[in-house]
Amino acid sequence: MRDRSRVAIGLAVAAVLVVGSCAQDDSGGGTASSSPAPPSGTAQQESPGQVAGVAIPDGQIDRAVGRLDQIADELMSSSKIPGMAVAVVHGGKVVYSKGFGVRDVTTRQPVDSGTVFQLASVSKPLGATVVAREVAAGRVAWDTPVRRLSPGFALRDPYVTENVTIGDLYSHRSGLPDHAGDLLEDLGYDRGQVLERLRQLPLETFRDSYAYTNYGLTAAAVAVAEAAGTSWEELSQREIYGPLGMASTSSRYDEFVSRPDRAVGHILVNGEYRPADPPRDPDPQAPAGGVSSSVDDMTRWMTMMLADGTFEGTEIVPPGALLPAVSPQAMSAPPASPDSRAGFYGFGFNVGTSPAGRVTLGHSGAFNRGAGTAFTLIPSADVGIVTLTNAAPIGIPETLNAEFADLVQFGEVREDWRKLFAGVFEQINAPFGDLAGKEPPANAKPARPLQEYAGTYDNAYFGPAVVSVDNGALVLTMGPAGVRMPMRHWDGDKFVFAPQGEGANPGSLSTARFEENRLILAYYEQEGLGMFVKP
């Protein structure tokens, strides 16, 4: 599976949530107001667009919070995930903050509200508030062309290169293909190398298409940091983490692993959760997926968001700079029928409208190697929830947040979110590839002598693919990290290999086909770039 801020999660989750009660990854619809939200139950509204279809009676949010222990315990028990932390803010206060389970199944140390988790794609909305601070300072604007800030930046189309803006990349409407660059990261390419190669990728229609990209957003964030004369990691600390007192939050992986109260990522091995080895190091795409934080720290950021950019009486992000980020900028999930709500994406945020007629803001994030996260804000109710887990994603944070959003808005859980999300994530986590789940033909043609396939096959985008013979079998080695993928014979000149890295679901299999001096790798062919040629 590609990096789990990925569009597969986004669109599949959106398909569930736009008919339900809250918005997570790439879902929702509607608009957001720049005015502070009125207290729940208040009839006074400033405009028709702020009128909710269902009122929230006094005490209903408190009752929803009172159900969280039960919901969390049930989800922990049914899923067997190692650890989880949950926090809720309401009325400018933290009204719930608690840990469940363990940080690491080997040490059995408990999760608490200060335990630091990897946020994965929940990094994107945090980063959007960093950009909003720079917009307010006048150093950049959401419509500043990236090329003006980073002269070396380029995409395949010269017009797009000159005109694509920070906002275009933060709303995934640049035309770059789905998860552009992620497979390069899996092979060990660093941030600069991935960003430089984006210019080789084909583009869809500029500003008239939506495709979720970690490295498109990263390119915009890096440009903003260059305009500020610093690194993205330092800019984030200076503009958001520091002012909000988020002392356990960082955009650097080495700082995450140095935290004593840290949640280790886990994956399922033979039906049991075990620490991921190797763990997920997201530094190359830090603006898109590299933040680590605790629910205690996240409550400070959510409180600021619900107060329209103000925290403890201090304006952190002016409303005028923040509003575009939480307003619909691109349609992320087109309606499937005339009576369906569409899904929208702002600048780093999913922006939705719930069945209760309330704007919802949110995002999900996940890593195959042990992170599942989500937050949901309902500004008109002045309430927000964040759920962080240390297991490969199966929809637990999304389920908990959706049930809580139902309880807040309707006083009851109105959908079987557990079943719905279990089905969605079962599809997302399924093995993929053209040969996944298949057996070699019974009458397979023999291969040529293996040494005839050996050699170095060049590719301008992915770099060389080295095929060697090791102990009587072919091995494919790729990328700066020297990723080794054993190949076994399938039929004639066709072999099969299991892709490696964050982007590959367990059990995935792909074709490696030799044609004269060419090697075609189906897994890397997704944008027509999977042909490798031997000189």
pLDDT in tens, the chain (535 residues): 333 334 444 444 544 544 443 333 333 332 233 333 444 444 455 688 888 889 999 999 999 999 999 999 999 999 999 999 999 999 999 999 999 999 999 999 999 999 999 999 999 999 999 999 999 999 999 999 999 999 999 999 999 999 999 999 999 999 999 999 999 999 999 999 999 999 999 999 999 999 999 999 999 999 999 999 999 999 999 999 999 999 999 999 999 999 999 999 999 999 999 999 999 999 999 999 999 999 999 999 999 999 999 999 999 999 999 999 999 999 999 999 999 899 999 999 999 999 999 999 999 999 999 999 999 999 999 999 999 999 999 999 999 999 999 999 999 999 999 999 999 999 888 887 767 778 889 999 999 999 999 999 999 999 999 999 999 999 999 999 999 999 999 999 999 999 999 988 888 899 999 999 999 999 999 889 999 999 9
SS3 for 449-469 is CHHHCCEEEECCCCCCEEEEE
Query: Same CATH fold, 450-533 and 7-139+228-428?
Result: no
Q: 3-class secondary structure for 280-302?
A: CCCHHHHHHHCCEECHHHHHHHH
Buried b or exposed e, range 138-148, using 16+ CB within 10 angstroms: eebebebbbbe
Rg of the chain, C-alpha, whole Å: 23
Cis peptide before 431 (omega within 30 of 0): no
Closest CA to 478 of 461, 496, 466: 466
DSSP annotation string for 357-382: S-EEEEEEEEETTTEEEEEEEEGGGT
Helix 7-17 vs helix 396-410: angle between axes, to the nearest 10 degrees?
30
Check residue 46 and give its pLDDT: 67
- How wide is the angle at C-alpha 429 spanned by C-alphas 428 and 432, nearest 5°? 90
CATH of domain 450-533: 2.40.128.600
Torsion of the alpha carbons at 66, 67, 70 and 72, rounded to the nearest 10: -100
Matching CATH number, 7-139+228-428, of 3.30.530.20, 3.40.50.1820, 3.40.710.10, 3.90.1170.20: 3.40.710.10
CB burial of residue 462 (10 Å; 0-12, 13-18, 19+): buried
C-alpha span between 248 and 237 (Å, rounded): 11
Contact 305, 362 (CB under 8 A): no
Distance CA 535, CA 70 (A): 63
Domain boundary assignment for the chain: 7-139+228-428, 450-533
Give the CA angle between residues 7, 205, 133 to the nearest 5°: 65
pTM: 0.92
